[in-house]
């Protein structure tokens, strides 16, 4: 039964992937990498949580909302930080104060929305599976960071061995 769910999910992911790549629009390369990482994370998460079909129907949209909330936060935060930087370089203290207030508001709204989504996910999953979700996300993030650091280290080693000529 569990293998059947994973197989069906894998077929769906491959189908969605082929539809996406069949389109003419080519997104930014990092978007493609992020999407692949998210798909991989979702597959691993489904295996780790062992969600029933019913639980998957409810939990996955909430998890997608958590992802969207995080993406929106980073975008908003970056915009506000750019405004703060501009205010500082223009030496405009009135604008700086407004932008610092915006920064705090963005942080507060993100945290509030994030907590609401976590409460919603917790309400819709058995306690054990919600706890597994939290631990899975921590471990997945750590593993991803470790792999990125490892890849960057390998890249740096290669650049030292084969330096680019200007």
Our CA dihedral for 93, 105, 68, 41, rounded to 10 degrees, sits at: 90
Residue span of the structural domain in which 106 resides:
49-138
5 in a domain, yes or no?
no
Compute the mean pLDDT over every residue in the chain, rounded to the nearest whole number.
83
Tokens of 41: 């994370």
- CA atoms 92, 95, 98, 100: torsion sign: negative
- CA atoms 134, 136, 138, 144: torsion sign: negative
121 in a domain, yes or no?
yes
Residue 160: what pLDDT? 67
Whether the full predicted model's pTM is greater than 0.95, yes or no, is no
Does residue 33 have a pLDDT over 50? Answer: yes
79 in a domain, yes or no?
yes
Give tens-digit pLDDT for 36-88: 888 888 888 888 999 888 998 999 999 999 999 999 999 999 999 999 999 99
Question: Is the distance from CB of 71 to CB of 141 less than 8 angstroms?
Answer: no
């Amino acid at each position: 039964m569990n293998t059947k769910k994973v197989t069906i999910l894998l077929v769906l992911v491959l189908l969605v992937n082929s539809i996406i790549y069949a389109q003419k629009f080519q997104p930014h390369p990092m978007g493609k990498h992020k999407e692949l990482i998210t798909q991989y994370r979702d597959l691993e998460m489904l295996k780790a949580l062992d969600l029933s079909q019913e639980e998957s129907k409810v939990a996955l949209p909430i998890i997608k909302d958590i992802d969207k909330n995080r993406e929106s936060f980073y975008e908003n935060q970056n915009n506000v930080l750019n405004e703060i930087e501009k205010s500082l370089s223009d030496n405009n203290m009135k604008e700086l104060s407004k932008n610092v207030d915006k920064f705090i508001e963005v942080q507060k709204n993100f945290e509030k929305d994030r907590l609401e989504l976590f409460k919603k996910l917790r309400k819709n999953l058995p306690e054990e599976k919600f706890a597994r979700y939290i631990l899975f996300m921590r471990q997945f993030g750590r593993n991803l960071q470790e792999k990125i650091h490892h890849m960057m280290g390998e890249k740096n080693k290669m650049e030292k061995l084969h330096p680019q000529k200007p």
